[in-house]
């Protein structure tokens, strides 16, 4: 094994802590620096995760020449600025989902990555996980015949706090961008694999949403997608309603149920996909054995593909991210959700 990839974290919030804890289980990476908007937060985070270098600003962190890879863990509206600055500082980038607020911003980030010759990946951890690879293999093998219908839900109930990034419009609040993005990415993946591609774009996107009177963001939302070859998808997202966060796929010869599509075996361990075919009385349990944590697998995926600049599908490639952002733009357009600074059509 080569030298460990030197990581730094930009932002000391909830997912920053999760990633820091998981990186300890990575076989390829080591956390060496953290940057925060305040020295106090950087120090607290550094003490907790035993990180030697703590910076009181993101700019100071990016000036550290020894850091090779940056994990961007700020709220979504800040991703575009810091991803472009990190690319210009020639750091490899793993940026939290959604990569940016809309497709136009995502294009700017990808251009900066291309121009600086650095690795860039949108951090959809489930796309890096062996369970998703197994799902793709099952579909490629035609285990349920022709795919007809996809159902994908990611929805939870959070406290009604208008200052939290989930409900605050200035911080990119709302469920479509927070968790609907997982569902669009999954539906595009499944429909694409079903027709022999890595992913495919929907022909039609129609949404409805409950926009909170106080929050001004979509507190829960639904979308209907139509793909080529007659594949349809029903998506549900929410930050104010607990739903069963699952994926179901119905085909001409059976169905697939994924009980834990988004955070499979969080700390490592087995995870299961159920396949029901017309030939069998009961569903077949397909057990996926995993010996690393969800976010460690993601960090190891980055390390394994630095030279190629992108990790291969089902991890998020640049074109996959652009297509997903476009689908999110269309979903938001359909429900009339526009963020500050965006043109009328996102
Ligand atoms: N992949 C996953 O499983 C997953 C899970 C949760 C969230 N996420 C994504 O990760 C990102 C962060 O989510 P989170 O839940 O970790 O958010 P969070 O707990 O609110 O933390 C965000 C951090 O960003 C920094 N920040 C920079 N500018 C800020 C501003 N204007 N206001 C508030 N904080 C600011 C802060 O760190 P400093 O004070 O240190 O600067 C803050 O602690 C989001 O894009 C989200 O979609 C991904």
Q: What is the pLDDT of residues 50-83, one digit of tens each?
A: 999 999 999 999 998 887 999 999 999 999 999 9
pLDDT tens track for 146-182:
999 999 999 999 999 999 999 999 999 999 999 999 9
Cα-based distances in Å from 274 to 15, 86, 287: 29, 41, 9
Residues with CB under 6 A from ligand 1: 11-16, 36-37, 41, 73-76, 78, 96-97, 123, 125, 165, 171, 178
What does residue 195 show for φ and ψ, rounded to 5 degrees? -110, 20
Cα-based distances in Å from 1 to 5, 7, 19, 27, 29: 11, 17, 22, 9, 11
pLDDT tens track for 82-141:
999 999 999 999 999 999 999 999 999 999 999 999 999 999 999 999 999 999 999 999
Closest-CA residue, ligand 1 atom 43, reads: 13
> Around Cβ 111, how many Cβ atoms within 10 Å?
13
Distance (angstroms) between ligand 1 centre and the Cα of 296 equals: 19
Pocket test for ligand 1, best of 9, 13, 127 (most atoms within 8 A of CB): 13
Calculate the CA 185 to chain-centre distance. Answer: 8
| Predicted local confidence at residue 279, as pLDDT | 86
Distance (angstroms) between ligand 1 centre and the Cα of 72 equals: 9
| Predicted local confidence at residue 344, as pLDDT | 63
Kindly report whether the global pTM for this prediction surpasses the value 0.95.
yes
3-state helix, strand and coil shares in percent for the chain, rounded to the nearest 5: 35, 25, 40
| Predicted local confidence at residue 278, as pLDDT | 86
Positive or negative: CA dihedral 4, 302, 113, 179: negative
Distance (angstroms) between ligand 1 centre and the Cα of 175 equals: 15
CA atoms lying within 13 Å on the CB side of residue 315: 23
Pocket test for ligand 1, best of 18, 75, 239 (most atoms within 8 A of CB): 75
Q: Look up tokens 């089902």; give the residue.
A: 314
Cα-based distances in Å from 346 to 12, 13, 107, 260: 29, 27, 13, 31
309 is catalytic: no
SS3 34: strand
Pocket test for ligand 1, best of 8, 14, 101, 264 (most atoms within 8 A of CB): 14
Q: Whole-number mean pLDDT of the chain?
A: 96
Q: How far is residue 136's CA from residue 134's CA, in Å, rounded to a whole number?
A: 5
User: What is the token pair recorded at 294?
Assistant: 């969800």
Distance (angstroms) between ligand 1 centre and the Cα of 198 equals: 30
Closest-CA residue, ligand 1 atom 15, reads: 14
Q: How far is residue 283's CA from residue 273's CA, in Å, rounded to a whole number?
A: 10
Distance (angstroms) between ligand 1 centre and the Cα of 293 equals: 20
Closest-CA residue, ligand 1 atom 9, reads: 96
Q: In what order do the strands lie in the sheet with 53-55?
A: 53-55, 29-35, 5-10, 69-72, 92-96, 120-123
- Strands 120-123 and 232-238, sheet pairing: unpaired
Distance (angstroms) between ligand 1 centre and the Cα of 307 equals: 28
Q: Find the mean pLDDT for residues 213-238.
A: 98
Q: Which of the following is catalytic: 91, 97, 169, 197?
A: 97
Q: Which atom of ligand 1 is nearest to the CA of 15?
A: 16
Closest-CA residue, ligand 1 atom 5, reads: 15
- Strands 147-155 and 247-251, sheet pairing: antiparallel
């Amino acid at each position: 094994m080569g030298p460990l990839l030197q990581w730094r974290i930009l932002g000391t919030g909830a997912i920053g802590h999760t990633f820091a804890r998981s990186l300890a289980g990575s076989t390829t990476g080591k956390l060496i620096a953290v940057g925060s908007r305040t020295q106090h937060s950087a120090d607290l985070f550094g003490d907790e995760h035993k990180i030697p270098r703590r910076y009181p600003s993101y700019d100071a962190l990016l000036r550290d020449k020894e850091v090779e890879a940056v994990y961007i863990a700020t709220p979504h509206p800040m991703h575009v600025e810091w991803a472009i600055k990190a690319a210009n500082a020639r750091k490899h980038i793993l940026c939290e989902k959604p990569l940016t607020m809309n497709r136009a911003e995502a294009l700017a980030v990808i251009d900066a990555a291309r121009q600086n010759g650095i690795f860039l990946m949108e951090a959809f951890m489930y796309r890096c996980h062996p369970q998703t690879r197994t799902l793709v293999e099952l579909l490629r093998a035609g285990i349920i015949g022709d795919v007809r219908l996809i159902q994908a839900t990611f929805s939870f109930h959070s406290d009604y706090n208008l200052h939290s990034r989930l409900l605050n419009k200035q911080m990119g609040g709302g469920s479509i961008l927070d968790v609907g993005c997982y569902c669009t990415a999954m539906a595009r993946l499944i429909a694409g694999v079903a027709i022999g591609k890595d992913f495919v774009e929907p022909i039609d996107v129609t949404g409805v949403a409950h926009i909170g009177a106080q929050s001004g963001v979509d507190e829960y939302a639904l979308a209907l997608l139509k793909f080529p070859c007659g594949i349809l998808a029903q998506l549900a997202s929410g930050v104010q309603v607990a739903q069963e966060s699952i994926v179901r796929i119905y085909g001409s010869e059976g169905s697939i149920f994924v009980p834990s599509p988004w955070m499979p075996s969080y700390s490592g361990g087995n995870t299961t996909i159920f396949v029901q075919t017309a030939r069998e009385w009961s569903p077949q349990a397909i057990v996926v054995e995993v010996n690393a944590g969800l976010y460690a697998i993601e960090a190891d995926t980055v390390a394994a593909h630095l030279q190629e600049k992108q990790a291969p599908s089902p991890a998020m490639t640049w074109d996959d991210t652009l297509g997903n952002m476009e689908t999110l733009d269309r979903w938001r357009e359909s429900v009339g959700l526009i963020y500050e600074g965006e043109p009328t059509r996102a």
